[in-house]
Structure 1
Amino acid sequence: MTARDLAVGWADALDGAVAPTLTRDHIEVLLTEQVEQLLAALRGTIGPQAGKYAAEALVAANYRDPAVAGRTIPLICGDMARYLQITDPSTGDVVHDRSLLVAAEFATGFTAALRSVALSEQEATLAAALASAQEAERRRELSEARFEAVFAGASVGIGTVDTHGQVLEANAAFADMLGIEVAEMPGRAVAEVVGHANIGDAYQRMTQLLAGSIDRFRLELDHPRPDGTSTGIDLSMSAVRDHSGRVRFLIGVAVDVTERRELAARLWYDANHDELTGLPNRGHLFDRLAVATPPIGMAYLDLDGFKEVNDRWGHAVGDEVLRIVGARLRQTVTAAGGLAARLGGDEFIAVLERCTGAAELAMLSADVQTALTVPMEIQEWTIRIGASIGTVYLEDAPTAIDEAMQAADSAMYRNKTPRSRS
C-alpha cells in the first residue's frame, strides 16, 4: 500500500460530500499531497498542525459537508496509523498518540475554515445589502428593485427596523430562523417579535444604533423558537443614514449557525473521546488534570488476562470486552463523582477531584473491582476479567502531569502479580 492508495481510499470515503468542482483525478492528486503531509506528522517529522492544514485545503476545495470530518478522522486514527505501524515498525505505539493530536488539529481546522467561509459570505451579503439600501436613498426606483431581489432570494436572514424599533420588513429566511410566519413580523416591535426575554444584548446594541452612538454591531446569540427548538444566530446590524447623517432605519443580516455549532461540538467530542468505549481519551484527561481541584485521587487500571481474551476469542470479542469495561467503569466512577478515561489498549484511569483521602480511593478501587469481576456474556461465551489497580493521592495539583501518571502506573504494577501480567 502507498500514500496514493490511502488517498484513493480517502477519496472514496469522501464521495458525495463535495460539490462537483473537481474531477476525480484532481481530487486524488489533492488528497495524495495531504496524505504525505499527514503521514509525516504521524511519523513526527513535522508537527500535528498538518491536520489543520489538510482541513483548510479540503474546505478550500469545496469540501464543506460536516460528513467530511466524520469520514476523515477515522482514516487518520485508523488506516494511516496502521499503515505506518506496518511500513515503519519503529514508530511503535507512539503513532496512536500522534494520530489523536493530528485528528484534533484536523477537527479544529475544519471548524475554523467553515466558520471563515460562512463569515466571509455573511460580510459580503451585508455589504451588498447596505450598498443597495444606501442606493435606495439616492436612486429609489432602480435600487429598490435590486434590493428586493437580494432581500427575497437571500439564503441568510435580512430585516429592516425603523427608528421606533418596529420591524419594517423581513425575508423568509429570517422568519424561518425565528420560527414564525414572515407575515407576522412587519409593524411589530422587535422585542415583541423575538420575545422580551430572548432579545438580551441585541436590544441594548440596537438602542445604541438608533441613538447614533454606534454604527454597527455583531454578536452571536441563541434564540428559543416557539416549537421548543433553539436556533444559533450570528447577527450583524448596521444603521443606514441619510445625507445629513440622521439614522433612517436599521438593517440586519442573520446567519443560522446551528449546524456549525453542532458540528463543532461533534468534532470536539470525537477529538477528546475514545472511539471504542466513548470514554475521555488521554488528551482530554490531561486537560482536565491541568485544571483539577486538589486534593486529587488517581486510580490506574490495567486489565488482567486481556491478552488471553484476544488470543482465544479474537479482537472483535476483545473490543466488546473493552466496551463493557468502559461502560462499567463510567457508571462506577461517575457515581463516585469522578472521571473515567481510557489511556489506550487495556489501560484506564479514574480521577477524583476534592478527594478526601486514601480511604475514599480504596473504596473506589473496591467498587471498580466488584463491577469488573461480574462475568460478561459475549456471543455464546462467558468471559471473566479482572484488573490490577494502583492509586496515588495528591494533596496539591500536579505540576508535572506525566510524573503523576507514572506514579499511578508504578503503583498499579506493584499490585499486579507476575501471573496476571499481559
Structure 2
Amino acid sequence: MGSWELARRWADALDGVVAPTLNRSQIEDMLAALSLGLIDVALGGDDADVARRTARMLVAANYRDPAAVSRSVRVICEDLVNDVASGPDDPALPEIRHRAIALAADFAAGFTAALRSAALAEQEATLAAVLAAAEESENRRALSEARFEAVFDGAMVGIGTVDLTGRVLNVNQEMARMLGHSPESMPGRTVADILGPKNLNHAFAQLQRMASGEIDSFRTETTNIADDGEVTYIDLSMSAVRDSAGAMKFLIGVCVDVTERKQLADQLWHDANHDALTELPNRVQLFSRLATALPPLGVCYLDLDGFKEINDIWGHTVGDRVLRIVADRMRTIVANYDGIAARIGGDEFLVLVEQCADEAQVGALAAELMTGLAAPLEVDGHVLAVGVSIGATYCEDPPAVTDELLHAADAAMYRNKNDARALRLSPGGESSSA
C-alpha cells in the first residue's frame, strides 16, 4: 500500500472530524510524511518519538476532537499493520502488531500532552492579558477599568480576585460555574467558606502562602467537588498584583475547566492498556506491571484448546462471545488471589499474582482456572466447551529479563499440552497442566 495510500486512508478517516488549518492536499502530504516514520518503526526502526511527534503535528493542524484519536489509533492498529505485513501468514505479523499497539499507545499519550500544552498556552495568554489590564488600571484607571471588565466578564476561562485576607473580591460567571456557585453569592466570603472542608486541598494551601507573601504565584491542577457530588478538574494559575511601589494589592486567579481533557486522558490510557474485546489488560499493561511487580511472583500461561474449531464452525461472532465469557470467568477467579489476568494474543492469556505465597498457591490457582474455564458455556442457544492448557511457574527472584519468566510458563504449558488435563507442581518450581 505504501505511505501515500496509507495517508489517503488516514485523511479519509479524519474527514469531517474538525475544520483543519490545511486543505486536503496539504493534509495528505503531512500524513504521508508521518506515515513513513510510523511504517519504519513498525518494521523495527528505533525512532522512539515518532508517534508522539505525529500526535503533536495533528494537534497543531487543529485536530483536537477525541474522534481524531480513536480514528487515528484504528488506522495505526489496522491499516498500518496490513500495510507493513505481507499477509495474515507473515511470521512477523505478531511482532508488527505489537509494535503498532505500542505506537498507538504513544500516539494517544502524545495527543493528550499536546492538548494540554495548547490549553496551557491559551491560559497563559489570557492570564497575561488580564494582568496587563489589571496593572494598567492602577495607573490609567478611567480607560483600563472598562478594558479589564470586558476581559473579566467575557472570558471563556474562570477569573477571580481575592484580597490579602482570603476574601473574594469578584468572580466572573465561568469561575462561579466551576465552583458550583452564583457570581453574586461569592464576593465578601472567604475562599475557605466557599470551597468547604472537602475542597481545602493543596491549591488552598498555596493560596494561603501567596496571601502571606511567601510566594508570588503558582499553577496547579486541582479538583472541586460540588454539593451534588459532581467532580470538576481545574487547571488553576494565580498571581499577585502589586502597585507601583511593589506592595501586594490583591491576588488574581485564572482557571480552566479541564474535566473533558482529564476524562479523555483517562479513556485514552484505558484504551491503550486494555484489550478492546474482553476489557482485560493487554500486553502493554502486562509488561508494565511485570517490570515493577513485587516478588515472589506466580505466573500462569493459558491457551484455549479447540477455540479455532469454534470459530470455524460457528463463526467469529460466537468466538468473540466465548472469549468474553472466558475473560469474565478468569477475572472472577483471579480476583480471589489479588492477581490480574491479561489477554496477550488471540486465545492466549496470562495471569500474574504479585507477592505470591508459595508454589502451592500457584498450583491452586491453576487448578481453579482449569476447572472454571473448562466448564460448558452457552452462546446463542449453543452449549459449547473449550479446553484449556495451563503452564504455571513460581519465582521468588524474578529474572532481570521479563521474557524469561514468560518463556518458563509458556514452555511448561507446551510440554504438557497433550496430557489428560492433570495439574502437577514440579520440585523445580514450575507447575503445568494441559
Shorter-chain TM band: over 0.9
**Is 396-405 or 307-316 further displaced after alignment?**
307-316
SS at match of 2:105: helix
- Give the Cα–Cα distance (whole angstroms) in 2 for the partners of residues 114 and 184 of structure 1: 33
1:412 is matched with 413
SS in 2 for 1:344: coil
Question: Per-residue CA shift, 1:100-147, capped at 9, x if unaligned?
Answer: 110111011101101110111111111111111000000001111111
Q: What's the counterpart of residue 78 of structure 2?
A: 78
Corresponding residue number in structure 1 for 2:424: none
CA contact (8 A) 1:179 1:227 kept: no
**Residue of structure 1 equivalent to 2:65:** 65
Offset, 1:38: 1.6
User: Cα gap change, 1:8/1:197 in structure 2, threshold over 3 Å: closer, same or farther?
Assistant: same
Asked whether the equivalents of residues 49 and 102 of structure 1 are also in contact (C-alpha less than 8 Å), the reply is: no
Distance of aligned partners of 1:257 and 1:321 in 2 relative to their CA distance in 1, 3 Å threshold: same
Mean CA deviation greater in 88-97 or 336-345: 88-97
The structural deviation recorded for 1:309 is 2.2
Distance apart, 1:69 and its partner CA: 1.3
1-side partners of 2:205 and 2:334: how far apart?
45
- Which whole-Å CA distance do the structure 2 matches of 1:23 and 1:359 have between them? 64
Calculate the aligned-residue CA RMSD, in Å: 2.0
- In structure 2, the partner of 1:227 is 228
Query: How far, CA to CA, are the matches of 1:404 and 1:90 in structure 2?
Result: 23
Q: How far off its partner does 1:308 sit?
A: 2.0
Does residue 50 of structure 2 align to residue 50 of structure 1?
Answer: yes
3-state secondary structure, aligned to 2:99: helix
User: CA contact under 8 A between 2:198 and 2:225: conserved in structure 1?
Assistant: no
Q: Does 1:258 align with 2:268?
A: no
The one-letter code sitting in structure 2 at the alignment partner of 1:141 is A
Q: How far did 1:403 drift? A: 0.4
Q: Secondary structure at the match of 2:246?
A: coil
Partner of residue 185, structure 1: 186
CA-to-aligned-CA distance 1:172-222 (integer Å, 9 cap, x gap): 111111111111111111111111441223333223222322211111111
Q: Deviations over 1:288-346 (max 9, x none)?
A: 12222222111110111122223333333322222222221112111222110111121
Structure 2 unaligned runs (5+)? 422-433
Range with bigger deviation, 370-379 or 219-228: 370-379
Instruction: Name the structure 1 match of 2:431.
Output: none
Counterpart in the other structure of 1:12: 12
Q: Are the counterparts in 2 of residues 161 and 169 from structure 1 also a CA contact under 8 Å?
A: yes
Give the counterpart letter for 1:218 in structure 2: R
Partner of 1:32: 32
Q: Is the 8 A contact 1:84 1:91 kept in 2?
A: no
Aligned to 2:374: 373
Partner in structure 2 of residue 358 of structure 1? 359
Quick check: 2:298–2:356 contact (8 Å CA) kept in 1? yes
- Aligned-pair CA distance for 1:90: 5.8
**Letter of the 1:174 counterpart:** M
Kept in 1, the 8 Å contact 2:398–2:405? The answer is no
Residues 257-297 of structure 1 show CA distances to partners (whole Å, capped at 9, x for unaligned) of 11111111111111111122111111211211222222211
Deviation string, structure 1 residues 75-118 (Cα, Å, up to 9, x no partner): 21122212322369363321111011101110111011011101
Moved more, 230-239 or 356-365: 356-365
Query: 2:50 is aligned with what amino acid?
Result: A
Map 1:106-185; keep pairs closer than 5 Å.
106-185=107-186
**In 2: Cα distance, 1:87 partner to 1:351 partner:** 33
1:287 is aligned to: 288
What secondary structure, in the 3-state scheme, does the structure 2 residue paired with 1:253 have?
A: strand
| SS of residue paired to 1:17 | coil
Q: Structure 2 CA distance, aligned partners of 1:172 and 1:94?
A: 53
Report the counterpart of residue 334 of structure 2 in structure 1: 333
C-alpha displacement of 1:46? 4.1
Rounded to whole Å, the distance in 2 between the matches of 1:310 and 1:189 is 65
**Quick one: which amino acid aligns to residue 322 of structure 1?**
L
Q: Helix, strand or coil: the match of 2:220?
A: strand
Cα separation, 1, equivalents of 2:287 and 2:359: 22
Name the amino acid aligned to 1:371: G
Aligned partners of 1:87, 1:308: CA distance in 2, in Å? 22
Partners of 1:266 and 1:361 in 2: how far apart?
Answer: 33
Post-superposition Cα deviations, 1:48-90, rounded to whole Å, max 9, x if no partner, equal 5321111111001001112221222122112221232236936
Q: Distance in 2 between matches of 1:117 and 1:271?
A: 22
**Take 2:27 and 2:419, find their aligned partners in 1: how far apart are those partners?**
53
User: Bigger relative contact order, structure 1 or 2, given CA contacts below 8 A and separation 6+?
Assistant: 1
Which position in structure 1 is the counterpart of 2:386? 385
Q: Which amino acid aligns with 1:411?
A: A
C-alpha separation between the residues in 2 aligned to 1:86 and 1:380?
38
Please show how residues 300-319 of structure 1 align to structure 2 within 5 Å: 300-319=301-320
1:218 paired residue number: 219
Q: Secondary structure at the match of 1:217?
A: strand
Q: CA deviation at 1:349?
A: 0.8
In 1, the alpha carbon distance for the partners of 2:146 and 2:152 equals: 10
- The structure-2 alpha-carbon separation of the partners of 1:45 and 1:295, relative to structure 1 and needing over 3 Å to count, comes to closer
DSSP-derived class of the 1:93 partner:
helix
Q: How many residue pairs were aligned?
A: 421
Q: Contact 1:42 / 1:48 at 8 angstroms: preserved in 2?
A: no
Q: Distance in 2 between matches of 1:203 and 1:61?
A: 37
